[in-house]
Amino acid sequence: MRRKYHDGRHLDDIVHPTLRKQMHPESLSIFSELAHDCLKEQGYYNIVERLREAFEIQWKHENLLLVEKFAYFKIPLSHIKLATNQFSHIHCIKSCIYESVYKGELSHFDRESGFSIERKNNVELPKKTVIINRIKRYKKIPKDFFAEIEILTSCKHPNLLAFFGFCDEDFEMILVFECDFKVTLYDYLRSTSNRTNLTWEKRMRICLGIAHGLMHLHNMEGKPSMIHHVIQSENVFLDENWTAKISNFRTWLLSTMDPPRARQRHVVDDIYSFGILLFQILTGRLDYDPHASMAQRHFDEGKIKNMVDPRIMEEAKECSFTPKERPSEDSLNTFFKIAHQCVVETPNERPRLEDVIKSLEKALHFQVSKSLMLNIVLFSWYINSLSLVVSRKLIHHLKRNVGI
């Protein structure tokens, strides 16, 4: 009897006609085979995987219009495998229980037309450096995956990596982001040779960029809010103008149906992580602990400069004629205060991102104002020195030629 009904020719006898019309043949076949195997005395295998496969096929069948809506962003799996060398560990830059993250170059793909192209006459094919997030299937269902894609297509901000495309072939769930940047903030903070380029003013502008990017994620108009949850230096790319570009922000979504308290808890968690990052940027140490008693003592005793990355202070001594390299004391104090507020133990006492941005802008203003004033003084000194030299030369010329 069981074998009889497992045969597709007899399924119509046991499935309701209305329901049968809704079913995709392949989904029904997988489901019925699984049900038959479960009733065998020999047992069963891969129940969850086979149910998920049947579900995904059926979901795409019922949501064909939604899938077609994002067809422009679809990237062939073969191109992604080529970019990652079959998802090689060499290209893997991060791996966790939710996903694996790769960096590679997409080739043989024309982003404007959305179609693959072939190499002709030895002409170099266009390439795009990308970050590839390969989501583990059991961590997300197709409905959530496409809901996330819908949000990402409208999530555009100068301080966020731009969404480039996705792939759902062979039941994969892959998100692709543009990343034409070779270094992260982590690379610069850990490298002694590179840190000399990160002046105090540049560091504050990087912090402001990260804060603005987070603000956009937390307050997306007409869309569910997003949180980052893993604000770290590894997830901040830097372009040629030192503009911060947040990556890996798509991992956690806040539904509009989440209770307000739950939403607020996730947001203040982002604030805390951002505070840790602020201290790392200030000190140049990736392992810095802002809760250590030494940090508060330095502030209380007015010795914040003892916490500052030594490279910044060394540059100020070596390049005393370049005033913008000198950290302003008012700027440091303002920066430290807001960073310290971000990492207080009580979540409700942490500041809002709006207040963080205002404080960082104030700290930057102190630094830029000091640099401007010192530049004016330096320029005045230069003009006076130049005038003195010109005057001396003029007097010398007059003495020789006029006989004064």
369-396: per-residue pLDDT in tens?
866 555 554 555 556 565 565 556 656 5
DSSP code of 15? S
Instruction: Check residue 274 and give its pLDDT.
Output: 96
What are the pLDDT digits (tens) for 244-265?
A: 999 887 545 554 445 555 566 6
Whether the pLDDT of residue 153 is over 50: the answer is yes
Per-residue pLDDT for 135 more than 70?
yes
Please return the burial class of 193, using the count of CB atoms within 10 Å of its CB with bins 0-12, 13-18 and 19+: exposed
> Residue 403 above 70 pLDDT?
no
Per-residue pLDDT tens for 162-207? 999 999 888 889 999 998 887 889 988 887 665 556 889 999 999 9
Lowest mean pLDDT among 146-150, 165-169, 182-186, 299-303: 299-303
Instruction: Render pLDDT for 60-86 as a digit per residue (tens, 0 to 9).
Output: 777 776 778 888 899 999 999 999 999
Q: What is the pLDDT of residue 88?
A: 95
**Residue 237: per-residue pLDDT:** 92
N-terminal to C-terminal alpha carbon distance within the chain: 127
pLDDT at 25 over 50: yes
pLDDT band at 288 (very low <50, low <70, confident <90, very high): confident
Which two structure tokens, joined as six digits, stand for 311? Answer: 């490279």
The three-class DSSP label of residue 99 is: strand
Q: Please tell me the predicted confidence (pLDDT) of residue 321.
A: 46
One-character DSSP codes across 224-260 = --EE-S---GGGEEE-TT--EEE-STTSEE--TTS-H
Count helices and strands in the chain by DSSP H and E runs: 14, 12
State the chain's mean pLDDT as an integer.
Answer: 78
The CATH superfamily of 71-178 is Phosphorylase Kinase; domain 1 (3.30.200.20)
Query: Does residue 5 register a pLDDT over 60?
Result: no
Cα distance between residue 230 and residue 184, in whole Å: 15
183-379 adopts what CATH topology?
Answer: Transferase(Phosphotransferase); domain 1 (1.10.510)
Angle at 7 between CA 6 and CA 9, to 5 degrees: 130
Q: Do residues 149 and 175 lie in contact, with contact meaning Cβ atoms separated by under 8 Å?
A: yes
185 within 8 A of 281, measured Cβ to Cβ: yes
Q: How confident is the model at residue 388, as a pLDDT? A: 61
Cα–Cα distances (Å) from 66 to 134, 142, 143, 225, 328, in that order, read: 21, 11, 10, 21, 54
pLDDT at 218 over 50: yes
pLDDT band at 324; cut points 50, 70, 90: very low
**pLDDT of 193:** 67
Assess whether pLDDT exceeds 80 at residue 319: no
Percent of the chain clearing pLDDT 90 (strictly above): 30
- pLDDT for position 256: 46
Q: What is the pLDDT of residue 170?
A: 85
- pLDDT category of residue 219 using cuts at 50, 70 and 90: confident
Over 70: is that where the pLDDT of 311 sits? yes
Span 36-63, average pLDDT: 74
Share of the chain above pLDDT 70, in %: 70
Q: What is the spatial distance between Cα 305 and Cα 69, in angstroms, rounded to a whole number?
A: 54
pLDDT digits (tens, 9 = 90+) for 105-130: 997 655 554 444 454 445 555 688 99
Residue 320 confidence (pLDDT) above 50: no
Q: Which pLDDT band holds residue 87 (cuts at 50, 70, 90)?
A: very high
Query: What is the C-alpha R_g of the chain?
Result: 30
Please tell me the pTM assigned to this model: 0.75
Which of 98 and 173 is assigned the larger pLDDT?
173
pLDDT at residue number 177: 93
Helix axes 260-283, 200-218, angle to 10 degrees: 170
Closest CA to 139 of 90, 174, 163, 113: 174
In the prediction, which pLDDT does 155 show?
A: 85
* Of residues 309 and 115, more confidently modeled: 309
